[in-house]
Chains A and B, each alone.
Chain A
Amino acid sequence: MPGYESHDFDVVIIGAGGAGLRAAIEAQEQGLRTALVCKSLLGKAHTVMAEGGAAAAMGNVWPEDNWKVHFRDTMRGGKMLNNWRMAQLHAQEAPDRIYELERWGALFDRTADGRILQRDFGGHRYARLAHVGDRTGLELIRTLQQRAVALGIEVFMECKVLRLVHDDQGRVSAAVGYWRASGDFVTFTAKSFVLATGSVGRAWLYTSNSWESTGDGHAMAAWAGADMIDMEFVQFHPTGMVWPLSVRGILVTESVRGDGGVLRNAEGRRFMFDYIPEMFAKETADTEFEADNWYEDHINYRRPPELLPRDEVARSINAEVKGGRGSPHGGVFLDIASRRSPEYIRRRLPSMYHQFMELAGVDITAQPMEVGPTCHYIMGGVRVEADTEATTVPGLFAAGEVAGGMHGANRLGGNSLSDLLVFGRRAGLAAAQFALGRPGAPAPDAEEIAAAVADAEAPLERDGGESPYAIHHDLQQVMQEKVGIIRTESELTQALEELDQLQQRTEKMSVSGGRAYNPGWNLATDLPAMLTVSRLVARAALERHESRGGHTRDDYPAADPELGKVNLVQRIDAAGRFTLTPEPLPEMPSDLASLFEEDPH
């Protein structure tokens, strides 16, 4: 492109967390010229923070486990709104993806006979998570990073992508971005693109997500005309830190509960027994005796209610705090100290031990933790074709958290790391095949490129406007208070009005300093994406008149069977108008549907 640094590849992957790395590995192994573009340094993406493990029905601990059980758990955890084909592929292929990591150097914790050890997690019938203590994400990203490096994949680090650019046939043909170090613009032309940009959590005040999770890929796909589905479903992880305030939201792994920890209110009561929903009553213990015996015997005892799916636990904690039974800093107590030995806790949860000791001055081998819900994950995202991760825009693929469908209304813990691997690989493969079949050199629209650059430069050229930090802070307040765990029509309507006002404020904001490594400007270029994603979430939340998974409406507290048959699909047209239509879920074939008729025990 005239005037800007430009690079040409066959396949460009945007985002270098687990999904992006796995996609890049696959495209490169197909022999295509592949580039990986990421906002941070390689190996720092949000995947590194995943703690508990990667779910895969390898059956190393419980031979009774298999992909059908995993598929069933995943669909039920997602309140049956999942794309069944994605859930099937995920359950079937996850074990191979884990074994592959081992060939590339990963060192998972072992069983006594030297196989990969698996751990219990919420919503999973059997111990299923391959893990390394409580730092599984680090192992996963490092293994993929080292594999990518060994293959010689070209990596563009600290490069923020702003917009996708079409050619005259509507195919995605370029990505425009800038180097954070210099602020200079750069274009990447390619025959196919894979979005692997992760989450949107920075739009909320209390989140486990890093600065990178600003919904860039969600927004870029929507701006490029792609269908977005299920955007109302946002996961609030039940256990984030609540004190000190500066660390509020930082994740406390579900492994604490998987390894024996329990939740208690200010009265010392294991309150989760009071919140067992009908859907999971048959498979959930109703006495502490039964729950405590389950850890050693999954066949004759039922699962503790602390290991219900995350949406159920987060809502229950919220209700306890609102009911005045919370901990001193507005959470509840998570106690493993009274239930497991200090040696066990330090071995299984070294990172949690360290995190609480250093940041909160709490010794988790001796004291309970204070925890509360934190914005963690978005189930919704870009609508993709299950087998190929192709979006509805030609030349554009999406994998990992930015893609929607796999997790339905609620994701089970452990299913994210395996999702990244399974669909990262499939996206890389399909993007490579698309690139091979696309004739001619990509010819991106020069006007679209110029518009993206002009929009990014505008805040630098204005004087005396508002700071992007102030707008971001107000956005986080709106989303936290009005589009949080519990929602109502009046608050959502008000949130949408306030989001419009915030949008107008971004059009007048200004940034001081230059372009070179200027975090104020970087935030200014992240805000448009966060605002678009926030509007998509609030609009879908307003339209879904029921409570299901990660979407709870105070004014529609029950699930509506009719709404359980539809995805809410949103699009942004060329004029910038948002449209929303309910569309029927893909129909599950009868052999898979029959899996849900069996008694779980």
Chain B
Amino acid sequence: MSEVTLQVWRGDDAGGRFAEYVMPAVEGEVVLDVIHRIQAGPAPDLACRWNCKAGKCGSCSAEINGLPRLLCMTRLDTLPPDEAVVVAPLRTFPIVRDLVTDVSFNYELARMVPPLKPGPPEADGTYRMMQIDIERGQEFRKCIECFMCQDVCHVIRDHEENKANFAGPRLFIRFMELESHPLDTDDRRELLRKHMGIGYCNITKCCTEVCPEHIKITDNAIIPLKERVIDSSYDPIAWLGRRIRRRTKPPAPERALDAPVRSTERSGPGAPVPAAVAPQSDPDTSPG
């Protein structure tokens, strides 16, 4: 019977090494299947996230032979035969254990995005939107939050210090989704410029290349966002218009800082909210 060799990174935040597992090859399997057989056999404590096993949830992201991939959608017969398959955790995030990383950075940033602010509905209380007007937004909402775009983004991959001031591709498509939403009445451009680091991206398109949902992150989200931010910051007519609008409509940053963000997702015991990215909560407006 033919065999498959996996070299899997084992360790925690104190360090680790690659361990080699030689398993029988089974027709049609994906890398996650082999990981599961390793867990059921030689290494029951091998840590790995997964949920849907069908490319829909984005839990099992890892670096296979150096490239970010979903373990559940990478068939072994698409990888070079007769070579060991190297499986490592996403490098941009701190290690929890083995293939599991601490992705709380992404969840903390998500709390800073001012949500949809819809205008008034039709007389019957519902909204009308044309399919053609929501297709761009639907493209971004295909995102399964695998965070592989964040993983390859060189602004943060090897620059931990940039994380405090940079949202990354995942959040940029969220911003663009809201900016292009037919019902939205908010303006998030100042927030993007001042706090989300839209200017850091130099459009190498690494994020687009690894997106398992084939979202055109750079072309359809990041570049249009850059254009909108530049228009609003450096165009004198837009500047004047903004001064006038500001009387009735405060831009997003102030509102984001007022937003009732009392709390956080926690991925570990008592994980604190980093002060650099956490808006201060206002006890008077916090619910409860």
Of B29, B45, B96, B281, the contact of A520 (CB 8 Å cutoff): B45
Interface pick from B139-147, B189-197, B246-254? B139-147
Residues of the A chain whose Cβ atoms lie less than 8 Å from the Cβ of B142? 135, 138
User: At the interface, yes or no: A517 with Cβ under 8 Å from chain B?
Assistant: yes
Residues in B with CB closer than 8 Å to A279 are none
Indicate if A351 sits at the interface (CB-CB under 8 A): yes
- Complex formed: what's the CA distance from A351 to B52 in Å? 13
Check A110–B130 contact: CB distance below 8 A.
Answer: yes
* Cα of A182 to Cα of B96 in the assembled complex, Å: 9
Contact A151 B267 (CB under 8 A): no
* A58 to B: closest C-beta gap in Å: 9
Q: Given the interface contacts A105-B116, A155-B265, does A43 sit within 8 Å of B44 by beta carbon?
A: no
B29 contacts A244, C-beta separation under 8 Å:
yes
Contact status A359-B54, CB under 8 Å? yes
- Alpha-carbon distance A250/B58, docked complex (angstroms): 16
Selecting from B120-128, B221-229, B231-239, the interface stretch reads B120-128
Interface string of B23-34 (1 = CB under 8 A from A): 000111110010
Tell me the residues in window 232-275 of chain B with beta carbons closer than 8 Å to chain A beta carbons.
259-270
A45 to B52 CA separation, bound complex (whole angstroms): 9
The reply to whether the CB of A28 lies closer than 8 angstroms to some CB of chain B is yes
Closest to A96 in B: B125
A157 and B266: CB pair below 8 A?
yes
Cβ–Cβ contact A99 & B126, under 8 A? yes
Q: Does A555 contact B (CB under 8 A)?
A: no
With a cutoff of 8 Å between Cβ atoms, the chain A residues found around residue B202 in the complex are: none
A151 touches B54 (CB 8 A): no
Interface residues of B in 119-168 (CB under 8 A from A): 121, 125-131, 134, 137-138, 141-145
B66 interfacial contact with A, CB 8 Å: no
The answer to whether A360 has its CB under 8 Å from any CB of chain B is yes
B262 A41 Cβ-Cβ under 8 A:
no
Size class of the contact patch on chain A: 35 or more
Q: Is the CB of A48 within 8 A of B52?
A: yes
Given A211-B50, A354-B55, A517-B100: A115 and B126 interface contact (C-beta under 8 Å):
yes
Interface residue A156 (Cβ < 8 Å from any Cβ of B) = yes
What 0/1 readout, one digit per residue, does chain A (145-163) give for beta carbons within 8 Å of chain B?
A: 0110111111111100000
Q: How far is the CB of B281 from chain A (nearest CB, A)?
A: 7
Residues of A within 8 A of B111 (CB): 149, 152
Tell me the chain A residues, 497-521 only, with Cβ under 8 Å from chain B. Answer: 511-514, 516-521
List of A residues within 8 angstroms of B118 by Cβ: 103
The listed residue with most A CB atoms (<10 A of its CB), out of B52, B129, B267, is B52
Closest chain B residue to A213 by CB distance?
B51
B269, A182: Cβ atoms closer than 8 Å: yes
What is the CA–CA distance of A359 and B266 in the complex, to the nearest angstrom? 34
A512 x B144 contact (CB < 8 A): no
**A114 near B: Cβ within 8 Å?**
yes
CA–CA, A468 to B269, complex, Å? Answer: 26
Do A44 and B59 touch (CB < 8 A)?
Answer: yes
Other-chain contact of B107, A42, A46, A152 (Cβ < 8 Å): A42
Residues 93-126 of A, flagged 1 when their CB comes within 8 A of B and 0 if not, give 0000001001111010110011110000000000
Interface-located stretch among A30-38, A381-389, A540-548: A30-38
* B81 CB contacts on chain A under 8 angstroms: none
Contact with A along B10-38 (1 / 0, CB 8 A): 00100000000000001111100100000
Given A107-B134, A110-B131, A467-B44, A243 contacting B28 (CB threshold 8 A): yes
What 0/1 pattern do residues 200 to 216 of A give for CB contact below 8 A with B? 00000000001110000
Q: Does A246 contact B (CB under 8 A)?
A: yes
- Asked if B201 CB lies within 8 Å of chain A CBs, one says no
Asked, given contacts A41-B267, A99-B125, A520-B44, whether A138 binds B262 with beta carbons under 8 Å apart, the answer is no
B137 lies within 8 A of A250 (CB):
no
B131 cross-chain contacts in A, Cβ below 8 A? 109-110
Task: Kindly report which residue of chain B lies nearest to residue A514, judged by CB atoms.
Answer: B45
Interface bits B90-131 vs A (CB < 8 Å: 1, else 0): 000000111010110001001101011010010001111111
A179: chain B residues within 8 A (beta carbon): 268-269
In the complex, A245→B145 CA distance in Å? Answer: 27
**With A99-B125, A244-B29 as contacts: A152 and B287 at CB distance below 8 Å:** yes
CB pair B181–A105 under 8 Å, yes or no, is: yes
Residue on A nearest B213 in the bound complex, by CB: A354
Q: Is B87 engaged at the interface, CB distance under 8 Å to the other chain? A: no
B84 within 8 A of A: no
Chain A residues contacting B203 (CB-CB under 8 Å) are none
Are the CB atoms of A102 and B51 closer together than 8 Å?
no
Residues of chain A lying within 8 A (CB to CB) of residue B264: 154-155
Q: How far is B226's CA from A348's CA once the two chains are assembled, in angstroms?
A: 32
Q: Are B262 and A157 in contact (CB under 8 A)?
A: no
A142 in the interface, Cβ–Cβ < 8 Å?
A: yes
Give the chain A neighbours of B26 by CB distance below 8 A. Answer: 245-246
> Contact check: which of A110, A146, A251 meets B54 at CB < 8 Å?
A251
Beta-carbon nearest neighbor of B142 in chain A: A135
A114→B266 contact, CB < 8 A: no
- Tell yes or no: B57 within 8 A of A by CB: yes
Find the A residue at minimum CB distance from B72.
Answer: A359
Q: Are A49 and B56 in contact (CB under 8 A)?
A: yes
Say whether B128 contacts A154, CB under 8 Å: no
The smallest beta-carbon distance between A340 and chain B, in angstroms, is 18
- Give the CA-CA distance A250 to B107 in the complex, in Å: 28
Nearest-CB residue, chain B, relative to A58 = B126
- Least CB distance, B125 to chain A, in whole angstroms: 7
Tell which of A115, A244, A467 touches B27, judged by Cβ atoms closer than 8 Å. Answer: A244
CB neighbours (8 Å) of B96 from chain A are: 181, 516-517
**Within the complex, what minimum Cβ distance (angstroms) separates A66 from chain B?**
15
| A278 lies within 8 A of chain B by Cβ | no
Q: Which residue of B lies closest to A134 (CB)?
A: B56
- CB 8 Å contact bits of A54-84 with B (1 = contact, 0 = none): 0000000000000000000000000000000
CB–CB A154/B51 < 8 A: no
Nearest residue, chain B, Cβ from A10: B288
Residue pair B28, A5 in contact (C-beta under 8 Å): no
B126 closest partner in A (C-beta): A99
Whole-angstrom CA separation of A186 from B270 in the bound complex: 11
Contact B116 A40 (CB under 8 A): no
Cβ A135 vs Cβ B56 within 8 A: yes
Q: Judging by beta carbons under 8 Å apart, are A151 and B40 in contact?
A: no
Instruction: Tell me whether B52 and A102 are in contact (CB under 8 A).
Output: no
Q: Which residue of B is nearest A241, CB measured?
A: B54
- With A and B bound together, what is the CA distance between A137 and B56 in angstroms? 10
| Contact call B75/A132, Cβ cutoff below 8 A | no
Minimum CB–CB distance from B219 to chain A (whole Å) comes to 19
Q: Which of B54, B56, B57, B130 contacts A114 (CB 8 A)?
A: B130
Complex Cα–Cα for A40 and B100 (A): 12
B115 to A110, Cβ gap below 8 A? no
B47 interface contact, C-beta 8 A: yes
Contact: B47 with A114, CB < 8 Å?
no
Cα-based distance from A46 to B128 in the complex (angstroms): 30
Task: Produce 1/0 per residue, A399-414, CB < 8 A to B.
Answer: 0000000000000000
B116 near A104 with CB under 8 A, answer: yes
Shortest Cβ gap from B168 to chain A (Å): 16
| 30 A-B contact pairs sorted by A residue (CB < 8 Å) | A40-B51, A41-B107, A46-B51, A49-B54, A103-B116, A104-B115, A107-B134, A114-B128, A115-B128, A132-B138, A138-B141, A152-B262, A156-B265, A157-B265, A179-B268, A179-B269, A181-B268, A182-B268, A210-B57, A211-B50, A243-B28, A246-B29, A358-B75, A359-B54, A467-B40, A512-B45, A517-B96, A517-B98, A519-B39, A519-B44
In addition to A44-B51, A152-B287, A246-B30, 6 A-B residue pairs with Cβ atoms within 8 Å of each other are A137-B56, A469-B40, A511-B45, A516-B47, A517-B47, A520-B45
**A positions within 8 Å CB-CB of B:** 5, 10, 28-29, 31-34, 40-46, 48-49, 99, 102-105, 107, 109-110, 113-116, 132-133, 135, 137-139, 142, 146-147, 149-158, 179, 181-182, 184, 186, 210-212, 243-247, 250-251, 351, 354-355, 358-360, 467-470, 473, 511-514, 516-521
List the 7 closest A-B pairs by CB distance, nearest first.
Answer: A244-B28, A513-B45, A520-B44, A114-B128, A154-B263, A105-B116, A517-B97
